Amino acid sequence: MSDILAQIMETQREQLPKAKRRTAEADFRSFPGYEKVRIPFSTSLKLESTVSVIAEFKRASPSKGDIRVHANVQEITNQYIQNGASALSVLTNEPYFKGKREDIEQIFSACPIPILRKEFIFDPWQITESRAIGSDAVLLIMAALEFSQIEELLYAASEEGLEVLLECDHVSHIEKLTDLRDRVRVVGVNNRDLKSFTMDQDAGLALLEKIPESYVRVSESGHKSTEDLKKVHDAGIEAVLIGTSLMHAENPGEELSNLLKYNT
């Protein structure tokens, strides 16, 4: 596990007992988002002729610092929806990304595309919380979890009707996919090295190409040009996750629309 990832996970473990005292797991069943009809995440990312984009909302990150700290989640995600996003990713981590779970609660009822909750999840309580706030899918990071935890969390997600984006960053992670059988449909690779924070899209694509085509494969991080998306498309990868370049743009929706012109 990288230093920054270890630090984030340590903070999560310190904060979770307080969160559990504030909200019992059973109480989540009374949240409006708990009864939401889920929108299929994996199906939404399978487009015939173009790369699907998971457009991300975040206010800050450990690598970039403050990005758009006063951003309005409804305004920006509406721009994404209107300009071709296949799914949304919403950072809810507060200490490192200045997110909050209320960001998803504000948008889920009127959102026509699936919402991925981007959070550092290690406990089934967080899975139930993710359903309760209106998420359709959650992120699980293999580098941050033991294999037994991944299995437990995949089971919890299935029980709550949520799909998973399983993030791999090593060939050894891909080798373990066979043990997860049909419990995972979407697999991602982060182009950012979580230890050095260097970006290497070619290395990320090379790792993605080792993942069987039966999965929806997602190239995460660093995409900021039509050339980047064309490279992903030409490699046969189904989807990308884009956050920083969109959030830095004056008009994030217009920037997304421009990126999607890579195949014109």
Which value, in Å, is the radius of gyration of the alpha carbons in the chain? 17
Give the 3-state secondary structure of residue 50.
coil
- Give the chain's length: 264
Q: What is the C-alpha to C-alpha distance for residues 115 and 132, in angstroms, rounded to an integer?
A: 13
Find out whether 210 and 217 touch, Cβ atoms under 8 Å. no
Give the 3-state secondary structure of residue 127.
helix
Active site residues: 56, 58, 118, 167, 190, 220-221
Find out whether 86 and 54 touch, Cβ atoms under 8 Å. yes
Place of tokens 């959102």: 111
Give the 3-state secondary structure of residue 11.
helix
Beta-bridge partner residues of 117: 90, 138
Cβ neighbours, 10 Å, residue 51:
27
Q: Could you write out the three-class secondary structure of 209-223? A: CCCCCCCEEEEECCC
Torsion angle, alpha carbons of 216, 220, 198, 13, to 10: -100
Give the 3-state secondary structure of residue 191.
coil
Say if strands 137-141 and 52-57 run parallel, antiparallel, or are unpaired: unpaired
DSSP 83: T
